[in-house]
Every structure is written in structure tokens, then in C-alpha cells.
Chains A and B, each alone.
Chain A
Amino acid sequence: MSRRPYIRKVERSWWLGRRRYVMYMIRELTSLFVGLYCALLVVGLWRLGQGRAAWDGFLAVLSSPLGVLFQLLCLAFAVYHSVTWFALTPKAMPLAVRGEPIPAKAIVGMHYGAWAVVSLIVLIAAGI
């Protein structure tokens, strides 16, 4: 009896097959919206350098319906990035104090705490 191992092809659509992989792809695509928003910030820096009129024009574009819609989309993906990033951090960096491991929930909690603190500082700096 001769051997003839059969090799199954992996389809390009492999990630659509199960919910787990779809969620993974969405998680990865959060970075697209993070990147696009960074590009927006760079445009903002550019307009800021061009003077008040240019800056006000930039703010006007941000306030337009399309501008707000795009940013809301970015916000949704950015928040999903934060939530998934914090959830994965304890796996990548299990911390221990004097040999005793710190529970994952505590590490995640500390990240949410830092998120709240950073957000508050930025809001205060922006003039809230």
C-alpha cells in the first residue's frame, strides 16, 4: 500500500468561517482606524502651523456630519482596541510580587485605572 497524503488548501476567506476568527480580524482592523485618526491629527498639526484661519477651518471639517461620523467610527474601533489590548496584557506580562503572581483581573484593572487618569488629564488640559 503506497502513501499519498492529501493536502487541504487554506482558503483566502478562512477567517470568515468561524466567529472567533471574524472577531480577531475586527480586532486587528482597529489599527486601521487608529492609523487613520493619527493621519487626521497630523493634518491638524499642519493646519495649526498655518494660523488661526486654517485651524478654524480644520475644526469646521471635524464638526461636519461626515467628519463626526468618521470620528465616531474611529472611536468605536479605538475603544475596542483598548478593551482587547487590556484584556490580553496579563497574558503577555504576568507580574509577580515576591514570587506570588498578581491576578490577571488586577492587572487589567490597573490599565483601566490608567486609562481613566490619562483621559481625565487630557480633558483638563483641553479645557473642560
Chain B
Amino acid sequence: MARSNKPLLWLPFAAGGLVAALIIPVLILITGILMPLGILPLPYEKIAAFAHNPLGKLILFGAVALPAWHAAHRLRMTAHDLGFGDGVAVQAVCYGSAGVLILAAAVLLTI
């Protein structure tokens, strides 16, 4: 049997799992409950300023890219569990979707 290259996919998956666990719930609390209720209005100037700040860019990128990768890898494994196999098509859809999100986030945060 050959040594697997899965570590390349797995370490970012594990990091993404931790980041998702720590930051996604509070983000949804803000955008899904506090903002609609008017408690946190999220004004354009404030958020745009954060997204223009280098540290803000890093945080936003990490908060999007790592959980997206985590989801992609996990959904690939789940597709296999559900009987869809682990072929090129499944992998392309999973990692491809994450790739699109990660690339989009990178582009949107650098311009």
C-alpha cells in the first residue's frame, strides 16, 4: 500500500473545523438575528472599513476559506457514505465549490 497524500487535504480540514466551530455561530447570530432585529445595524461604512483593514481582510478570509474547505472535504466523505462513491466527479464538485468560494473571497478582499 502506498503512503497517502490525504494529509494535504486533512490538516486544512481540521483547522477549518476549529475555525468554523469558534466563529461561525456568532457570525450567524449577528447576521441572522441581531441585525434583522436592529440591535446591530452593520452600517456600510463600518463594515467596509473593516474589510479594507489588512487585519480585517485576514480575519474575513480565514473565517470564510477555512470553514469552506472543511465543508468541502467533509461533504466529499459524506457523499461516499451515502453511496455516491469517491470518484472524480464527487471530488470535483466538493473541492471545486470550495475553490470557487476561496478564490472569490481572496479576489473580493484584495480589490
Contact = CB atoms under 8 A, between A and B. Distances in A.
Q: Is there a direct interface between A and B, measured as CB atoms under 8 Å apart in the complex?
A: yes
A122 B23 contact: yes
B101 A63 contact: no
Grouping DSSP codes into helix (H, G, I), strand (E, B) and loop, the A interface class, with mixed when no group exceeds half, is: helix
Interface string B76-94: 0110011100000000000
A74 B32 contact: yes
Interface in A48-78: 48-49, 51-52, 55-56, 59, 62-63, 67-68, 71-72, 74-75, 78
Contact of B101 (A38, A55, A128): A38
Contacts of A79: 25
A63 B33 CA distance: 8
Interface string B20-32: 1111111111111
Nearest to B111: A49
Contacts of B29: 75, 119, 123
Contact of A63 (B26, B36, B63, B81): B36
Contact of A72 (B32, B47, B50): B32
Contacts of B22: 82, 114-115, 118-119
Contacts of A81: 17, 20-21, 24
Nearest to B17: A85
Interface in A107-126: 111, 114-115, 118-119, 122-123, 125-126
Contacts of A42: 64, 101, 104-105, 108
B46 interface: yes
A48 B56 CA distance: 14
Contacts of A56: 44
A28 B81 contact: yes
9 contacts: A31-B71, A32-B71, A48-B51, A59-B42, A75-B28, A126-B34, A126-B42, A128-B34, A128-B39
Interface of B: 17-18, 20-36, 39-42, 44, 46-48, 50-51, 60, 63-64, 67-68, 70-72, 74-75, 77-78, 81-83, 97-98, 101, 104-105, 108-109, 111
